[in-house]
Amino acid sequence: MKIVDARFVGSSTRVAQKPSAKLPEFAFIGRSNVGKSSLINMLTGNRKLAMTSATPGKTKLINHFLINSSWYLVDLPGYGFAKLPQSGRDEIKRIIRDYIMNSEEMVMLFVLVDSRHDIGKIDLDFISELGENRIPFSIIFTKCDKQGPNVLARQIERDQALLLQQWEELPPMFLSSSENGMGKDEILDYIESVLSST
């Protein structure tokens, strides 16, 4: 799959306000600062499409990007940003939950995990909730350019072992880097295969 056209179409804080055209949605979630917005820019080949920042908590809304006039990439706010006041954290949780539970067009949720660290309790708890609610998800490891291949491979094995403590089977998984484009073709081909099966 090639992305020939990507455009921002709107921000919302609840499902009822999302863009009215009903098209399949592929959403990106994960800890604040894990690289969600950067990955959307990498996949679309437009560094300025989604706003990114070295400081966590940049994306605070649900952002829809229309791709090839036929489906959406959806950038969600990150969870687990400790420095936010409780009220801000509650609001972000509400936004995320409302979208994930109620967006009927979401065909796949990509859960992003930083490839440099053990997958966290916050991620494992979030993933459990997805399982309980039968929400289709895949995992994308981000920032894979930051370590050598051997260290990276060992870390992914550790994460898989942690996931297998809770899950009988592993979900689809991808390695990515927004710096060097790793994972781009694999993720876009996977999106294409999900689109053609829906």
Kindly list the residues in this chain that would bind ligand GTP in the complex (CB under 6 A): 32-38, 52-54, 56-59, 77-78, 142-143, 145-146, 177-179
Measured in degrees and rounded to the nearest 5, phi and psi for residue 18 equal -70, 165
Question: Nearest approach, Cβ of 127 to Mg ion (angstroms)?
Answer: 19
Query: Which one, 61 or 69, has the nearer CB to ligand GTP?
Result: 61
- Tell me if 58 contacts Mg ion by CB under 5 A: yes
Picked from ligand GTP, Mg ion, none, the partner binding residue 183 (CB below 5 to 8 A depending on kind) is: none
How many other β-carbons are positioned within 10 Å of the β-carbon of residue 66?
18
Structure tokens at 64: 């829809």
How many other β-carbons are positioned within 10 Å of the β-carbon of residue 103?
18
Query: Which one, 2 or 48, has the nearer CB to Mg ion?
Result: 48
Q: What angle do CA 165, 166, 167 make, to 5 degrees?
A: 105
Question: Nearest approach, Cβ of 117 to ligand GTP (angstroms)?
Answer: 13
Q: From CA 64, how far away is CA 50, in angstroms rounded? A: 10
Residues that bind Mg ion (CB under 5 A): 36-37, 58-59
